[in-house]
Amino acid sequence: MAPDPSTPPGPAARPDTLLSRLLGGMSIFTLLMTVPQVLTIWVGHQAAGVSVLSWSAYFLSAILWFWYGLQRKDKNIYLPCIAWLGLDAAVIVGALIYG
């Protein structure tokens, strides 16, 4: 008898694996680690040494990952990208104003 393609193949197909939880945690951790950079720029008005080119590359990467996550319908990919787009934009704009 042929396997039923509508049935997941087993535990490896579960979306709530240790790796997905670890990736979700790291996503939150790295977002939180970026907040001090944003605060330094916007509260302290200090953007010396901030590379607009580098942060623009991060912004472009977040756009591509967001688009990919939407296509895959994977909230674990596209939801963090919304936050990354906001943080990256805040750094870029702040660096242009205060740099």
pTM passes above 0.85:
no
Q: How far apart are CA 88 and CA 19, in angstroms?
A: 25
Which pLDDT belongs to residue 44? 96
For 42-65, how does the pLDDT look when each residue is reduced to its tens digit (9 = 90+)?
999 999 999 999 999 999 999 999
Mean pLDDT of all residues in 11-21: 72
How do the domains of the chain map onto residue ranges? 21-98
Residues with Cβ within 8 Å of 76's Cβ and at least 6 positions away in sequence, in order, are 15, 20, 23, 24, 27, 69
Which pLDDT belongs to residue 29? 95
Q: Which two tokens stand for residue 39?
A: 């605060």
Fold type of domain 21-98? Monooxygenase (1.20.1280)
For 68-96, how does the pLDDT look when each residue is reduced to its tens digit (9 = 90+)?
999 999 988 999 999 999 999 999 999 99
Q: Does 4 score more than 70 pLDDT?
A: no
